[in-house]
């Protein structure tokens, strides 16, 4: 997230805003020899994300471990662009928001005053805070995420969910 491991002034020169940057902290096939994974279990100042941010959940850590174990490939498991089926919040939108948005949109002072940590916050941001406009914008302060648009697949996934009535 901005101010930590983003492309501008990354802390410790670790830029996690690109695949290449993430990949340089990973030894494919070996989570226990991958900083990206081991920092999740450190203590004190070495723990990432650092307190007072909440540590990752066991399920999130496991997702990273499996990804590394499976070769740390540049793939996107979220969203299925081949089907017109409507997705649910818990089915895929939550995971997508978690990877793309939540770093800046949680905690006591979320960016733009927008929290995106659960169903009612995300659906509320669609209704009241222009979330769809934000993910479709390509420039300007309200283009989300600020580092550049998500893949067309991920944008389409959220649009389909909204058009389908934002099922939980």
CA gap 134, 111 in Å, rounded: 13
Going by C-alpha positions, the residue among 76, 43, 41 that lies closest to residue 62 is 41
Task: Work out the number of other CB atoms within 10 angstroms of the CB of residue 84.
Answer: 9
Closest to ligand HEC by CB, 142 vs 163, is: 142
Single out the segment in contact with ligand HEC by CB under 6 A; choices: 43-51, 52-60, 84-92, 98-106.
98-106
Options 29-37, 58-66, 81-89, 125-133: segment touching ligand HEC (CB under 6 A): 125-133
Residue 103 contacts ligand HEC per CB under 6 A: yes
Q: How far is the CB of 141 from ligand HEC (least distance, A)?
A: 4
Confirm if 89 and 122 have CB atoms less than 8 A apart. yes
Name the segment binding ligand HEC (CB under 6 A); options: 21-29, 32-40, 82-90, 126-134. 126-134
Q: Which of 50, 53, 129, 167 binds ligand HEC (CB under 6 A)?
A: 129
Length reported for the chain = 168
Q: Of 97, 130, 136, 88, which is closest to residue 112 (Cα–Cα)? A: 130
79 contributes a contact to ligand HEC by CB under 6 A: no
**CA 22/CA 19 separation, integer angstroms:** 5
- Residue 65 touches ligand HEC, criterion: CB under 6 A: no
| β strands within the chain, DSSP E | none
Residues near ligand HEC (CB under 6 A): 1-2, 100-101, 103-105, 111-112, 114, 125, 129-131, 134-135, 141-142, 144-146, 150
């Amino acid at each position: 997230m901005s101010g930590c491991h983003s492309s501008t002034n990354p802390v410790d020169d670790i830029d996690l805003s690109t695949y290449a940057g993430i990949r340089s902290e990973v030894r494919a096939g070996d989570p226990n020899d991958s900083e990206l994974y081991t920092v999740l279990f450190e203590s004190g100042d070495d723990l990432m994300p650092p307190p007072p941010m909440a540590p990752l959940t066991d399920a999130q850590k496991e997702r990273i471990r499996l990804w590394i174990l499976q070769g740390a490939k540049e793939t996107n498991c979220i969203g299925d662009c081949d089907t017109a089926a409507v997705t649910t919040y818990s089915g895929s939108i939550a995971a997508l928001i978690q990877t793309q948005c939540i770093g800046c949109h949680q905690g006591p002072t979320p960016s733009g005053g927008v929290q995106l940590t659960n169903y009612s916050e995300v659906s509320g941001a669609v209704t009241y805070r222009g979330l769809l406009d934000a993910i479709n914008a390509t420039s300007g302060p309200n283009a989300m995420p600020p580092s550049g648009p998500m893949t067309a697949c991920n944008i389409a996934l959220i649009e389909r969910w909204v058009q389908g009535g934002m099922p939980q």
